[in-house]
Amino acid sequence: MPSPAPLRSDTSAAPTPAVRPDRVHRRTFLSGTAAAGGALAATAAGLRPAAAAVPDRDSAAPAPAGPPVTVRPEDQRYADLRRGTNQRWVGSPEQIVLAASTADVVRAVQQAVDSGRRLAVRSSGHCYEDFTTSQDIAVVLDLSRMDDISYDESRRAFSVRPGAALGRVYDRLYKGWGVYLPAGNCPTVAAGGHIQGGGYGSMSRRDGLAVDHLYGIEIVVVQADGTARAVTATRDPDDPNRELWWAHTGGGGGNFGVVTRYWLRSPDATGSDPTTQLPTPPREVWLSEVAWPWEQLTEARFTRLLWNHGDWHARNSAPDSPYTALFSQLKPFHKSAGAIVLDSLVDAGIPGAERLLRNYMSEVGAGVGVTPQVRQYRRVPWLHATQWPGFTGPDPTIRFKGKSVYARRNYTDAQIAAAYRHLTRDDFHNPSALLMIASYGGKVNLVAPGDTAVPQRDSVLKYQVVSLWNDAADDQANIAWVRECYRDMFAATGGVPVPNETNDGCFINYADTDLGDPRWNTSGVPWHDLYYKNGYRRLQKAKATWDPNGFFRHAQSVRPA
């Protein structure tokens, strides 16, 4: 939930006005929320483009779904297709091309290059910023029709097209082969931007990030001479295009080309049996939702609740912890929502699963002095749980703004105090404004920072300051609330989570153009180092090799070295 001309509705640090009463209702978001050593030096061989031709036919997938479809402003479908999930952004492209094959993508990219028109790529449209709706974009290349999922015997890997929504990916992989990918919680997010941005979800503590299981990509790039072509890149040590693969293990979408296929296979997989090439999900999971009423929470009780939560994760997020099978989202909503909610899930098949879940909830609530309300507590099959509203995405007809954090240890006292101050403000009343705090770590932290383009490999929490609303008239109030809350929580480091002993930067899939605005980032640390840390220099070298003319670009795209 994967930006030139970012919205700058409010540049002051003054308190924000109240939100209008026709805002998003509390339950809209309460039951559905969106969603997480240094880099090795790039080798010369890894950065040299190799002529790895892609087969003319899509050998591992069914036949394409007909010819490409082009939608222009006079078409009835244009109103829907000119926008994504975040209704703050509405584009005005000359045309929207819905590709059905890799050949369609090559053709569309080549035409845009030849005509000098700006092109943006979209899979499902869940971008936080206007990376695919900026007003200077003339062509939107929509990949939503490219949603095939199959097993490629020649590569011993699952082929997943970029338009495949995660809900479809889970359903197809599990029903067909009994396997899954530890990716995101929102079933309508597509694989396209999600995987290459380092997507995570409720099973990542158990089985790692989606990119930890990425074997290879098929991608359409634009050469220095302006020729669009499809190439492949894999993690094989002898693949001359390996650096291009690496750039897609967390480098983010819209940087190097158009990914037209992912190949997925776990690094430790052996043999050719497809049922062993990716992890097996739990058979069943325990689900829980509890809530602490705001009316019973003083500042001291709120502080104890958050401190307990952060402390528990700091102690129970090692890769060998029995709690890697447990994931939760703590949602301290604005007090106008009425409650702070904790949604949790645990693999029901591990020894003592129910006891572990109960112990977790007990430790988070210890000493708070408020008995939480139990809203849900049940055991369900895993595939059904992937649609549970406790973790799945929000209403796609709303507006939102979010800012992200990787946390390496418990919250500081100053962070908790700032959060409390903004969550209890009387001059702001949106019940869908909140902190959304996800469990992290576990098996994610088994991978060395430089092995993928995701450098945050020792965090224990990953969270957002976020607000959702309906009416454009409420933009200023909500955007300002998010900015001010975030700024104050990280006042000690220039208003952003600069990597240090407590924080570890930001998540590119929760794109935030404010990170490049000196009004909201006074740290002196550039936006790209907050996302990529030392890995940015390596990404720049890949950019210079594979997109030397900067054809693929947005407000926070990787710049060539």
Residue type, 284: E
Domains of the chain, CATH where assigned: 69-280 (3.30.465.10), 284-536 (3.40.462.20)
Q: Are 503 and 512 in contact (CB under 8 A)?
A: no
Contacts of 315 (CB under 8 A, 6+ apart): none
Contacts of 17 (CB under 8 A, 6+ apart): 427, 428, 476, 477
What confidence score (pLDDT) does residue 394 get?
65
More confident residue, 53 or 193: 193
Find tokens 């930001």 and name the residue.
506
**pLDDT 10s digits, 168-201:** 999 999 999 999 999 999 999 999 999 999 999 9
Stretch 239-251: mean pLDDT: 99
Residue type, 276: T
Taken in order 101, 223, 130, 498, the sign of the CA dihedral is: positive
What confidence score (pLDDT) does residue 27 get?
32
- Angle CA(322)–CA(326)–CA(332) in degrees, nearest 5? 135
Stretch 299-311: mean pLDDT: 99
In the structure encoding, which two tokens stand for residue 550, read together? 């900067």
Model confidence at 491: pLDDT above 60:
yes
Q: Are 272 and 153 in contact (CB under 8 A)?
A: yes
**pLDDT 10s digits, 210-236:** 999 999 999 999 999 999 999 999 999
What confidence score (pLDDT) does residue 65 get?
67
**Measured distance CA(296)–CA(404) in Å, rounded:** 28
Q: Are 252 and 509 in contact (CB under 8 A)?
A: yes
Stretch 250-260: mean pLDDT: 98
Interstrand relation of 139-142 and 95-98 (parallel, antiparallel or unpaired): parallel
Which letter does DSSP use for residue 274 in this model? G
Contacts of 336 (CB under 8 A, 6+ apart): 26, 429, 430, 431
**pLDDT 10s digits, 443-488:** 999 999 999 999 999 999 999 999 999 999 999 999 999 999 999 9
What confidence score (pLDDT) does residue 391 get?
85
**Which residues, listed in sequence order, are joined to residue 142 by a DSSP beta bridge?**
98, 122
pLDDT category, 28, cuts 50, 70, 90?
very low
**Sheet architecture: strand order including 69-71:** 69-71, 95-98, 139-142, 119-122
In the structure encoding, which two tokens stand for residue 409, read together? 């240890």
Instruction: Annotate 21-81 with DSSP letters as a single string.
Output: TTS--HHHHHT------PPPPPPTGGGSPP--BPPSS-TTSPPPSSS-EEE-TTSTTHHHH
The phi, psi pair for 446, rounded to 5°, reads -80, -20
**pLDDT 10s digits, 120-147:** 999 999 999 999 999 999 999 999 999 9
- Residue 281's nearest CA partner among 382, 385, 390 is 382
Contacts of 157 (CB under 8 A, 6+ apart): 151, 215, 216, 263, 264, 265, 277
**Which residues, listed in sequence order, are joined to residue 97 by a DSSP beta bridge?**
70, 141
- Residue 459's nearest CA partner among 410, 509, 409, 416 is 409
What confidence score (pLDDT) does residue 62 get?
52
**pLDDT mean across residues, the chain:** 91
What confidence score (pLDDT) does residue 2 get?
34
The three-state DSSP-derived secondary structure of 438-485 is EECCHHHHHCCHHHCCCCCCCCCEEEEEEEEECCHHHHHHHHHHHHHH
Stretch 242-254: mean pLDDT: 98
| pTM, rounded to two decimals | 0.89
**Measured distance CA(188)–CA(191) in Å, rounded:** 9
Instruction: Return the number of other C-beta atoms located less than 10 Å from residue 430's C-beta.
Output: 25
